[in-house]
C-alpha cells in the first residue's frame, strides 16, 4: 500500500493530500530514508513523521485492506 494512503487509512492524517504534501516536503521517512508518497509500506517498516512537536516514530504491524475504524487503528501500528 502507498505510504500516503496508509497514513490516511490509519487516521494519522485526515486527508491523503496532507500525507502526500508531508512526503514531498521531506518530513516523512521510511526505514531511515526520505520517501515519495507512492513508496510501498509493508509490515515491520518504521515510519518517522517530523512535526512541530517533534518526531513521531511508528512501526507498521499490519497493512489495512480497507478503511479502518477509529477504535481499531492501534492494531495497525505501534508507537516507538
All three cell numbers of 70, joined, read 477509529
3-79 folds as 3.10.290
Q: Report residues of the chain scoring pLDDT below 50.
A: none
User: Domain-by-domain residue ranges, the chain?
Assistant: 3-79
Tell me if 58 sits within 8 A of 77, measured CB to CB: yes
Percent of the chain topping pLDDT 70: 100
Amino acid at each position: 500500500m502507498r505510504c500516503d494512503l496508509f497514513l490516511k487509512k490509519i487516521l494519522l492524517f485526515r486527508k491523503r493530500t496532507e500525507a502526500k504534501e508531508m512526503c514531498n516536503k521531506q518530513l516523512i521517512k521510511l526505514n531511515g530514508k526520505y520517501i515519495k508518497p507512492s513508496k510501498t509500506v509493508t509490515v515491520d517498516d518504521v515510519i518517522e513523521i517530523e512535526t512541530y512537536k517533534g518526531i513521531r516514530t511508528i512501526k507498521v504491524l499490519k497493512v489495512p485492506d480497507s478503511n479502518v475504524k477509529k477504535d481499531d487503528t492501534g492494531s495497525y501500528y505501534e508507537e516507538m
